[in-house]
Amino acid sequence: MPESGQKQILLSKIQAGQAVIGIIGLGYVGLPLALAFAEKGFRVLGFDVDLKKIEALDRGDCYISHMDPVRVGRVVQAKQIVATADFSRLGEPDTLLICVPTPLTPQRDPDMSYIINTTEQIQSRLRVGQLIVLESTTYPGTTEELVRKMLEKTGLVCGRDFYLAFSPEREDPGNAQFFTTNIPKIVGGVDQDSGDLAQAMYDQAIHKTVRVLNARTAEAAKLTENIFRAVNIALVNELKIIYERMDIDIWDVLDAASTKPFGFMRFNPGPGWGGHCIPLDPFYLSWKARECGVDTKFIELAGEVNRRMPEYMVHRLQQALNDRGKSIKGSKLLIIGLAYKKDINDTRESPAYQIIPRLIDLGAEIAYHDPFVPTVLRTRHWPEPLALASQPLTSETIASQDAVLIITDHSSVDYELIAKHAKLIIDSRGVYRKPLANVIKA
């Protein structure tokens, strides 16, 4: 069949709402995307290696705290979303959206194993007429140089027998204003037909698509967004340290600077960066730039500043305890928040998971409270988590601690109760704006 005919068949199925949408990876990116297509009437076949996720979705349960469980349950009950761990079914969908992690190695080089393993799975089932879209954040050239070459080992040709594009995820978990369907979707095809089909598909579920020249441009756009955030977070984190030495409150400075109606965009400091994007994605570009013979000094410096913030918080705690005649060793410490940001249950790359082991090494007794994280979760960097469970936040619990460390400023936490009963508070999030005798900014 001529390539234009193959394209037209798939385009017609997409526009009629009859295309089966396959989504590989049902986490913080994949599940919201599955819900978006399912609620537009598409049949979604979701793939994941985590059997707990598959079993939860089979029951109609939602394991992501900021998503509406009623909406998820409704589309699962209607069989609009079917979840499976059987990757032999990858040939069934008309489109396959890859939403798998892209972590770093211990040397901070790209760990492409998830993309490679997923592409190998697709490769063995790839059929004529399928559209493959990579959503995982990665270095420019991945879609064309890595994924395309692997898929063309089947003998099928991209742009003729199958189609390939990149469309970066732009999820912001817990953001009530922006969510999957109303965040503009960047789309870049490896070739013109691939881009046309990918744009047509996302047009069915996303309010606005932004077509770019090619997949490389789309890959670079995503990295640029996250590097912009990483660099500006590093800037305010460094300013926080500088202004603390000058006895100036960074939060008062940011409030004042934010009154300028042009030329300033506010970023807030914290105990370190977290989440799957900001701490990782800049180094994908650094790695690729080195391959091209270019140094990324600015990006590397921002990473250095952000990575030292957990240690800065420990240092501020150590100073405050010393001023009170105590050491960290033997101190009872209550951590507020394990999630990397407020009002979600996502602990990926959370600064809490860097701060807590350091405090334990120094001899502290650790307890924590997080309404979204009932138990300490296993992560790639913490494969054997401590047997800790979130403690109820009571006046007795607070008063029994030598210090309370606010790492995540969840909205539902009673900060007045903490201020009333805590001997010492180390506040990394600017929760307490008025000066209090028992509050130390960090």
Q: Which of 163, 191, 161, 194 is nearest to 3 (CA)?
A: 161
Least confident of 38-52, 74-88, 265-279, 319-333: 265-279
Residue 80 near residue 42, CB atoms below 8 Å: yes
Residue 269 near residue 233, CB atoms below 8 Å: yes
The CATH topology of domain 239-441 is: Rossmann fold (3.40.50)
Mean pLDDT across the chain: 94
pLDDT at residue number 280: 86
Is the whole model's pTM more than 0.85, yes or no?
A: yes
Domain span(s) for CATH 3.40.50.720 in the chain: 3-213, 239-441
Chain position carrying tokens 């900001």: 278
The answer for 426, left when phi > 0, alpha when psi is -120 to 50, beta otherwise, is beta
pLDDT for 124-160, tens place per residue? 999 999 999 999 999 999 999 999 999 999 999 999 9
pLDDT for 13-46, tens place per residue? 999 999 999 999 999 999 999 999 999 999 999 9
Q: Please identify every residue annotated as catalytic.
A: 277
Q: How far apart are CA 376 and CA 355, in angstroms?
A: 14
φ, ψ for residue 43 (rounded to 5)?
-85, 125
- Burial classification of residue 177, based on how many CB atoms lie within 10 Å of its CB (0-12 exposed, 13-18 middle, 19 or more buried): exposed
Task: Specify which residues 406 forms β-bridges with.
Answer: 336, 427
User: Which carries the bigger pLDDT value, residue 238 or residue 348?
Assistant: 238
Q: Is residue 316 over pLDDT 90?
A: yes
User: Which carries the bigger pLDDT value, residue 174 or residue 343?
Assistant: 343
Chain position carrying tokens 């507020």: 336
Residue 366 near residue 333, CB atoms below 8 Å: yes
Q: Is residue 3 over pLDDT 60?
A: no
pLDDT at residue number 266: 97
pLDDT at residue number 5: 84
Q: Which two tokens stand for residue 315?
A: 């240092």
pLDDT for 76-105, tens place per residue? 999 999 999 999 999 999 999 999 999 988
Question: What percent of the chain stands above pLDDT 70?
Answer: 97
Pick the CATH number of 3-213 from 3.40.50.720, 3.60.10.10, 3.90.226.10, 2.40.40.20: 3.40.50.720
| Confidence category of residue 114, pLDDT binned at 50, 70, 90 | very high
| Confidence category of residue 278, pLDDT binned at 50, 70, 90 | confident
User: Which carries the bigger pLDDT value, residue 372 or residue 281?
Assistant: 372
pLDDT for 366-411, tens place per residue? 999 999 999 886 666 565 666 789 999 999 999 999 999 999 999 9
pLDDT at residue number 1: 44
For the chain, give the number of residues: 442
Residues of 113-128 as b/e, b for ≥16 C-beta within 10 angstroms? ebbeebbebbbebbee
Contact partners, residue 369, CB within 8 Å, separation at least 6? 334, 335, 336, 337, 390, 391, 392, 393, 397, 413
Question: What percent of the chain stands above pLDDT 90?
Answer: 87
pLDDT at residue number 380: 62
Q: Is residue 2 over pLDDT 70?
A: no
Outline where DSSP puts E strands in 312-411: 332-336, 365-369, 403-406
pLDDT at residue number 385: 62
